[in-house]
Amino acid sequence: MERITDQVLDAEILKRETENPACGALIVFEGTVRDHHRGRQVQRMEYTAYKPLAERVLQELEEETKRRFKVAECRITHRVGELAIGEASVVIVVRSAHRGDGFDAAEWAIDTLKQRVPIWKNDFYTDGTRAYQDGVPLSACSSGEHDSAQRGQESHAEQPMRKQD
């Protein structure tokens, strides 16, 4: 399965792809489109990606997640295109021998995905307006720069820029 796709995401496919008899724990994270954002009613969402880079960063993120948390399996897919309320924009599947590692790995993977993967979210509100959500500036190095998992924080507009010159 491609990691960036305009097809409906299916966690069951990733579960089958990662079957592993040595694993006792499976953790699935899905990000789903909410009907509200910062007090405004959302009608639908559009995701776009810069695919050449996004595919590579997702693959590296899978590998780094496995290495960092010593989990056996990690697969990530992200959808692009128009999504309705309730549809999944991202699916992360982790399998591990022990559940603690699996939970840590899945949470780190989604936190880090939000900081590293060139994907953009465009909210379409019920009042007819739309707006790109502000996000996290990419640093010049795609790995290892943004390790802090800032739980629950959706926008990093105030984050100091990494010097790029």
Q: Which residues of the chain form contacts with other proteins (CB under 8 A)? A: 31, 47-50, 52-56, 78, 89-90, 110, 113-122, 132-142, 154-157, 161, 164-165
Kind plus residue range of the DSSP H or E element containing 26: strand 25-32
CB 66 within 8 A of CB 8: no
33 interacts with, out of its own copies, other proteins, none, CB within 5 to 8 A per kind: its own copies
CB 118 within 8 A of CB 56: no
Least CB distance to other proteins at residue 158 (A): 11
Q: Among other proteins, its own copies, none, what binds residue 77 when CB lies within 5 to 8 Å by partner kind?
A: none
Neighbour-count burial for 9-46, b at 16+ CB within 10 Å, e otherwise: bebeebbeebeeeebebbbebebebeeebeeeebebbe
Per-residue interface string for the shown chain with its own copies, residues 37-76, x marking contact by CB under 8 A: ----------------------------------------
Length of the chain equals 165
CB atoms closer than 10 angstroms to residue 59: 13
Cβ closest to its own copies, residue 85 vs residue 138:
85
| Contact positions with its own copies (CB under 8 A) in 67-126 | 85-86, 88, 95, 97-101, 103, 106-107, 110
4, 9, 33, 49: which one contacts its own copies (CB under 8 A)? Answer: 33
**Strand pairing partners for 123?**
45, 131
Closest CB to its own copies among residues 52, 148 = 148
Number of residues that bind its own copies (CB under 8 A): 35
Pick from 140, 68, 135: nearest CA to 106: 68
The contact set with its own copies (CB under 8 A) reads 11-12, 19-36, 85-86, 88, 95, 97-101, 103, 106-107, 110, 151-152
